[in-house]
Structure 1
Amino acid sequence: MNQKHQEDLAHIRSMMERSSRFISLSGLSGVFAGLSALIGGLYVYQLFKINGVDYFGEGDYERGYEGVSTIPFKLVSELVVTGIVILVCAFVFGLAFTIRKSKKYNLPIWTSATKKMLFNLAIPLTVGGVFCLSLLYHQNYGLVAPATLLFYGLALINAEKYTFSDIKYLGYCQLFLGCVSLFLIGYGLVFWIIGFGILHILYGLIMFRKYK
């Protein structure tokens, strides 16, 4: 009898979890988002070399690119386009693996929990996006990478209560990297690759093993 009650409670708990949290997120989404960021980061590094920026040494500009306010507009526009492409790729991979998981486990995708999660993600990300645009407008390039890490970390922590609670740990790591990079201006690309690339891959692999 006690075993039956425990099974019933577990079933009720599972139903409540499904109704209140968005649980169709796949760990593979994080892995492929991280891979997209790694490839994008390496591409940006090549752009620097092509434009005479010796990122880890002395080039035509000062060390790195972030502390320089005289970057050619063409290079800035290429960096922005690269960032948009990485974001789109990460979104497409995330959507594809989410749909795949929801179909496999017969889980609904567009629920009230999904809407709440996206809303809580969107607020910090939207404000962060506007803030980064203002940094680009005022040519404060050194703060762009730290700002993206900080606002992304805040977004993950803000959305944690509507999806897997593990996501907050990724958010804390992004905040830590963002804070450290604020004091190491000129190494923004390195921190960006670690945060959006390596950490995403590690997080995705852990989530995939835990919730597959």
Structure 2
Amino acid sequence: MKRERDYIQDIAEIRSMMERSSKFLSLSGWAGIMAGIYALAGAYIASVVYDFSPDRITYSVSLPAGLSEIILLALGVLILAIGTAVFLSYSKAHKRGEQVWNTTSRRMIIHMSVPLAAGGIFMIILLSKSLIGLLAPTSLVFYGLALYNAGNFTYPEIKYLGIIQIGLGLISCYFIEYSLMLWALGFGVVHIVYGIVMHFKYER
């Protein structure tokens, strides 16, 4: 009986080692929570402070006034979210005696970078055509595609998060007037819920 328990324990340890070698498991639930908070704060500032209206789709040569501030705000939210994710992932990996930058994490970044780069270029094209209302939906869709790809190299919940973001992006493409609210829902509320679930499921 004792030998059977030892076999089961050995198999569990081997399985855990194989999973750590093939999956990037240093993602922190707190990174998702903080990214969601940053996104909600950014959406609030864009809506209340800058009075940004996402349904301003125009084919005129000139872009809406205040758009440069909105772009800088979005970049600030992005930098904060990425910086927090990197810092918390490094801290989690350090506590577990693992390396953040390894073969698995490199593969994950590469597979995420393709849809993110394509989405970034597409958004620049939308800006050049003054199609402002499609920026928020586009960011949701391509970010969702990047997350779906990343799900092959980390926790499976990332795939579901990606699908939700894609769905919200497609919905906001149709309901342009609500795209900022849907953006806040996707990048804000959904990220916070995801982060809480991941924290209690994997980090406690």
The match for 2:9 among 7, 30, 41 is 7
- For residue 74 of structure 1, report the CA deviation from its aligned partner: 4.3
Residue-by-residue CA offset, 1:107-141 (whole Å, 9 max, x unaligned)? 21111000001011111001000001110110111
Residue-by-residue CA offset, 1:129-183 (whole Å, 9 max, x unaligned)? 0001110110111211111110011100011111111111111110111111111
TM-score of the pair, normalised by structure 2: 0.93
Match of 1:43 in 2: 45
The whole-number CA distance in structure 1 between the counterparts of 2:194 and 2:54 is 29
Residue-by-residue CA offset, 1:42-72 (whole Å, 9 max, x unaligned)? 11012443xxx6xxxxxxxxxx342342675
The whole-number CA distance in structure 2 between the counterparts of 1:110 and 1:65 is 38
Between Structure 1 and Structure 2, how many residues are aligned?
199
**Where do 4+ consecutive residues of structure 1 move more than 3 Å?**
70-74
**1:13 is aligned with what amino acid?**
R
The whole-number CA distance in structure 2 between the counterparts of 1:80 and 1:157 is 25
Q: Which runs of 5+ in 2 are unaligned?
A: none
Identity %: 37
Paired residue secondary structure (1:188): helix
The whole-number CA distance in structure 2 between the counterparts of 1:204 and 1:190 is 20
The whole-number CA distance in structure 2 between the counterparts of 1:190 and 1:23 is 31
- For residue 106 of structure 1, report the CA deviation from its aligned partner: 1.3
Does 2:182 match 1:180?
A: no
- For residue 73 of structure 1, report the CA deviation from its aligned partner: 4.9
The whole-number CA distance in structure 2 between the counterparts of 1:47 and 1:8 is 58
Does 2:26 match 1:20?
A: no
The whole-number CA distance in structure 1 between the counterparts of 2:169 and 2:57 is 20
Residues 108-123 of structure 1 mapped to structure 2, 5 A cutoff: 108-123=99-114
Paired residue secondary structure (2:151): helix
- For residue 188 of structure 1, report the CA deviation from its aligned partner: 1.2
TM-score of the pair, normalised by structure 1: 0.90
**1:196 is aligned with what amino acid?**
F
Paired residue secondary structure (1:182): helix
**2:115 is aligned with what amino acid?**
P
